[in-house]
Amino acid sequence: MQRMLYPTVGKPEPARPKVTVTLVSGKDISGRLASEDEFTIVVLDPEGARKTLEKGAVKFKIDDPMSAHFDQLGKYTDIDMHNVFAYLDTLK
Amino acid sequence: MSLALTAICTAQGVDPKDLLHPPADSWLNFHGGYSGQRHTRLAEITPQNVGSLQQVWRFQTGQNPAIKASPILANGILYVTTPDNIWAVDARTAKALWHYQNPPNTAFHIGHRGAAVYKNLVYLTTPDCHLIALNAKDGKVKWDVVIADYKRGYWSTNAPLIVGNHVMVGVSGDFDNLAGQLKAVDADTGATQWIFYSTPPPGKNEPASGGATGGQMWTTGTYDPDLNLVYVGTGNPTPVLNGQVRPGDNPWTCSIVALNPDTGKLVWGFQVSPHDMHDWDANEVPVLADANFRGQPRKLLMQASRNGYFFVLDRTTGKSLLTAPFATVNWAKGIDAQGRPIPDPAKYPAKDGVLVAPNESGATNFRPPSFDPQTGLFIVSAQDGYGIYFFKSDDGAYGWAGADYGVAGKAYLRAIDYQTGKIVWNHPIGDGAGTAGVLTSDTGLTFSGDVAGNVMALRTSDGVTLWRQAIGKMNNGPITYELDGKQYLVVAGGSSLYAFALPKGKPR
């Protein structure tokens, strides 16, 4: 149930958010988001190489499907939870 | 015990009056003062120059456990702890002066919050529930007393609170039938002076807790010398997730209690989570301030509690002035006439799982907040999070009595207007929950840390970041002091302490 509500773990491993970074030169780097804090963004390029970039020096756009999952947590009702649990119980 | 003495310092002792009015070159208890405001009047580091802060030294414990303690500074010596360990460190050079290590034991080693000082002694609690008084000069044991029986499930992480000659120490423990206890011992001898029980001790029926035990007082309280009252938060009731066997509100669990430090007698109590069902200890710092509240001068007590609500009380009487959520909450039906959230039974742990906000780690927790009297902002490391809570009576009705799982959370530094409870600014610090405490300054700075391991300085008025350094995960509250005319900021990252200061010759 935990993974159904917020699927950050499991097999297959959920995909990391997509990120597109535009450098000062105008060049774009696209890949998966390895990590992020207020100051830096770390991108895994298609070859798996890590690129750490200062946020203040680039433009970037993150497509994170998990954000919708988080927003949804505040909308589930107790009845929703019960129904999901009842469904999972039938899988036994 | 291992004792490594590498130098002799010339401690002059902490005058008890210093505890009432801490000098600029000190940080004498967990909070840096009795109010719990964690706010400094030191003014060398400002929003204009904070960007120039540089690391002055680093002290490494050489051990794996993270430093979760607020260091104590007295007479130029820092005292920093981890479970079973305390180091005396030269605050100018980071040179270790002595190290005391408690014998190995099987108690729970979850963390340690810090030491305390009084006269020429340093006080250390241990996981196996000893309180040890050490000579501040060389770390030799003066006395060692047992404060609870760790074999029954107690442990201690507590940074003691010292008022007069009373050393007040609390313990932790989530097993059934462990009464919540705060013990005062004589600072000179270790002799027990009194014990306050938040739930009934064995063989007693008072306080009338409805069958609950627990209510541990594992964090450091605050003190109002004018009222001669100590304020302490109490922890969750036990059994933890099953309320059926402990009907009623379960006082004084999940409460703020006001005690006379000379007698240990309860003067008043305010329960922030009546009949708690989610492990939401109310041990967060009860911060004291003398300030106007809606046009009237008041002696205030403020707590941002783990249950997601911000409480403002009149600390003379314990009466509520304000109750408002400061994080995502979905477990209460409203606020009662006493200012307490009204639990919604639909959010009690259930067989089919209940989605609850906040999650078990809480809307905040052990990490200390700060109150800035200049702006009237109460700044806390907060979390908007959700957890799933289960209870199945056929799996056992006692002990933890169920299970809970964190689902997701987002961490913020959050500034609360103490007169309205409204959020003035909200600074994201990462996914999950933050672990760093907060320090504010008269110059308009807020120091804390993010989830990624940065120590940061924000502008208090609007939460904008002005400086940061990557030091590793901060698990303690920042402290500050002045030595030789220079202001230091000291924080822990991982198992190291870092000191920052402005460079010499820099325009200030």
Give the closest residue to A81 by CA, choosing from B395, B349, B70.
Answer: B349
Place of tokens 């900021």: B489
Distance from CA of A34 to the nearest CA of B (A): 13
| Domains contained in chain A, number | 2
Quickly state the pLDDT bin for B2 (edges 50, 70, 90).
very low
Task: DSSP letter for B51, please.
Answer: G
Catalytic position from the list B176, B249, B279, B372: B279
| Shared domain check, A76 and A59 | no
Asked if B356 has any chain A CB less than 8 Å from its own CB, the reply is: no
Same domain? A59 vs A29? yes
In sequence order, what E strands does B83-125 have? Answer: 85-90, 96-101, 116-118, 121-125
Sign of CA dihedral B314, B256, B370, B228: positive
Cross-chain Cβ contact B352/A76 below 8 Å:
no
Residue A65, both tokens: 């499907």
Mean pLDDT, chain B, rounded, equals: 95
The whole-number pLDDT of residue B8 equals 37
3-state DSSP call for residue B32? coil
d(C-alpha B335, C-alpha B216), whole Å: 25
Cβ–Cβ < 8 Å for B384, B433 = no
pLDDT tens across B369-397, in order? 999 999 999 999 999 999 999 998 877 88
Domain containing B471: what range? 2-501
Residues of B in contact with A76 (CB under 8 A): 355
**Does the pLDDT of residue B1 top 50, yes or no?**
no
Assign residue A46 the CATH number of its domain: 2.30.30.100
Residues A58 and A23 in one domain: yes
Whether chain B has a CB inside 8 Å of the CB on A37: the answer is yes
Q: What is the CATH number of the domain that holds B29?
A: 2.140.10.10
pLDDT in the model for residue B506 = 55
| CA distance readout (Å), A87 to A82, A90, B11, B395, B405 | 9, 5, 67, 21, 19
- Name residues 412-431 of chain B within 8 A of A (Cβ): 428-430
Where residue B16 falls among pLDDT bands split at 50, 70, 90? Answer: confident
**Cis-peptide, bond into residue B252, ω within 30° of zero:** yes
What's this model's pTM, rounded to 2 decimal places?
Answer: 0.95
Per residue in B78-116, pLDDT (tens digit) is 999 999 999 999 999 999 999 999 999 999 999 999 999
DSSP-derived secondary structure for B324-393: EESS---SEEEE-TTS-EEE-GGGS-BTT-EEESS-TT-SS-SS--EEETTTTEEEEEEEEEEEEEE--G
| B178 belongs to a structural domain | yes
Q: Is residue B341 part of a domain?
A: yes
**Do A59 and A71 lie in a common domain?**
no
| DSSP string covering B202-254 | TT---S--TT-EE----S--EEETTTTEEEEE---EESSS--TTS-S--TTSS
Segment B152-167 mean pLDDT:
97
Task: Report the pLDDT averaged over residues B269-294.
Answer: 98
Does residue B492 register a pLDDT over 90? yes
Does one domain contain both A1 and A31?
no
Average pLDDT over residues B351-379: 97
CB pairs under 8 A between A and B: 55
Instruction: For residue B231, give the amino acid letter.
Output: Y
pLDDT at residue B3, as a whole number: 42
Contact residues for B250 (Cβ-Cβ < 8 A; gap 6+): B199, B209, B210, B211, B212, B215, B237, B243, B274, B275, B276
Torsion sign across C-alpha atoms B357, B37, B53, B48: positive
| Residue A92 binned pLDDT confidence (cut-offs 50, 70, 90) | low
Q: Return the amino acid letter for B330.
A: N
Q: Would you say B11 and B136 are in contact if contact means Cβ atoms under 8 Å apart?
A: yes
Regarding whether A57 and A35 lie in a shared domain, the answer is yes
Answer yes or no: is pLDDT of B322 > 60: yes
| Shortest Cα distance, chain A CAs vs residue B488, angstroms | 24
The proportion of chain B whose per-residue pLDDT surpasses 70, expressed as a percent, equals 97
Chain A closest-CA separation from residue B23 CA (Å)? 36
Domain range enclosing A43: 18-63
Q: With CA atoms as reference, report the closest residue to B324 among B344, B306, B342, B304.
A: B304
pLDDT at B338: 98
Whether B77 has a pLDDT exceeding 50, the answer reads yes
The answer to whether B405 contacts chain A (CB < 8 Å) is yes
User: At A7, is the pLDDT very low, low, confident or very high (cuts 50, 70, 90)?
Assistant: confident
- Region B167-181: mean pLDDT is 94
> How high is the pLDDT of residue B202?
87
∠ CA B255-B479-B34, nearest 5°, is 45
ipTM over 0.85: yes
Judged by CB atoms closer than 8 Å, whether chains meet at A85 and B354 is answered as no
Look at residue B508 and tell me if it is in a domain.
no
Q: Cβ contacts (< 8 Å) between A33 and chain B: which residues?
A: none
Instruction: Please tell me the total count of domains within chain B.
Output: 1
